[in-house]
Structure 1
Amino acid sequence: MTFDCNCSCTSLFGIRINEEYNAGKEQEMAINKDLIKESIRNIIIALGDDPNREGVKDTPDRVARMYEEVFEGMNYTNEEIAEMFNKTFDEDYYDANNQDLVYVKDIEVFSYCEHHLALMYDMKVSVAYIPNQKVIGLSKIARIADMAAKRLQLQERIGNDIAEIIERVTGSQDVAVFIEASHSCMTARGIKNASAKTYTQTLRGRFRTEPDLLARLK
Structure 2
Amino acid sequence: MPDAADRPDDRLDALADGARRMLALLGEDPERDGLVRTPRRVAESLAWLTRGTGCDAADAVGDATFDVPRDNMVLVRDVEFYSLCEHHMLPFYGRAHVAYIPDGRVVGLSKIPRVVEVYARRLQVQERLGEQVADALEAVLRPRGVGVVLDAVHLCMMMRGVEKQNARTVTSALRGAFRDDARTRDEFLRLAHGAPR
Distance in 1, matches of 2:88 and 2:186, equals: 35
Question: For the Cα contact (< 8 Å) 2:60–2:118, is it kept in 1?
Answer: no
Partner residue of 1:72? 51
Partner residue of 1:21? none
**Aligned in 2, Cα 1:36/1:140: closer, same or farther, shift over 3 Å?**
same
**What SS does structure 2 have at the residue aligned with 1:109?**
strand
Distance in 2, matches of 1:170 and 1:28, equals: 34
Gaps of at least 5 residues in structure 2 are 1-5, 191-197
How far does residue 165 in structure 1 lie from its aligned partner after superposition?
1.4
Question: For the Cα contact (< 8 Å) 2:127–2:171, is it kept in 1?
Answer: yes
Distance in 2, matches of 1:83 and 1:119, equals: 24
Partner residue of 2:193? none
Distance in 2, matches of 1:171 and 1:210, equals: 17
Question: For the Cα contact (< 8 Å) 1:83–1:169, is it kept in 2?
Answer: no
* Equivalent in 21, 30, 33 of residue 54 of structure 1: 33
Partner residue of 2:125? 154
2:22 maps to 1:43 = yes
2:102 maps to 1:102 = no
Question: For the Cα contact (< 8 Å) 1:82–1:166, is it kept in 2?
Answer: no
Listed one character per residue, the Cα deviations across residues 114-142 of structure 1 (whole Å, up to 9, x for unaligned) are 00111102x10010101011100000001
Partner residue of 2:167? 196
Listed one character per residue, the Cα deviations across residues 43-77 of structure 1 (whole Å, up to 9, x for unaligned) are 0000111111110111111011111111101132x
2:165 maps to 1:186 = no
**What SS does structure 1 have at the residue aligned with 2:53?**
helix
Q: CA RMSD in A?
A: 1.6
Distance in 2, matches of 1:147 and 1:83, equals: 9
Question: For the Cα contact (< 8 Å) 1:70–1:151, is it kept in 2?
Answer: yes
Residue type at the aligned position of 2:25? A
Question: For the Cα contact (< 8 Å) 1:107–1:124, is it kept in 2?
Answer: yes
Question: For the Cα contact (< 8 Å) 1:120–1:181, is it kept in 2?
Answer: yes
| Equivalent pairs, count | 182
Question: For the Cα contact (< 8 Å) 1:82–1:168, is it kept in 2?
Answer: no
Distance in 2, matches of 1:171 and 1:83, equals: 17
Distance in 1, matches of 2:7 and 2:185, equals: 40
**What SS does structure 1 have at the residue aligned with 2:52?**
helix
Partner residue of 2:65? 88
Question: For the Cα contact (< 8 Å) 2:60–2:111, is it kept in 1?
Answer: no
Distance in 1, matches of 2:53 and 2:131, equals: 15
Distance in 2, matches of 1:46 and 1:28, equals: 27
Partner residue of 2:87? 115
Distance in 1, matches of 2:155 and 2:60, equals: 31
* Moved beyond 6 Å, runs of 4+: none
Question: For the Cα contact (< 8 Å) 1:177–1:203, is it kept in 2?
Answer: yes
Listed one character per residue, the Cα deviations across residues 152-198 of structure 1 (whole Å, up to 9, x for unaligned) are 00000000111111112212251110000000111111110101000
TM-score, scaled to structure 1? 0.79
TM-score, scaled to structure 2? 0.87
Question: For the Cα contact (< 8 Å) 1:175–1:203, is it kept in 2?
Answer: yes
Distance in 1, matches of 2:13 and 2:42, equals: 11
Distance in 2, matches of 1:180 and 1:165, equals: 19
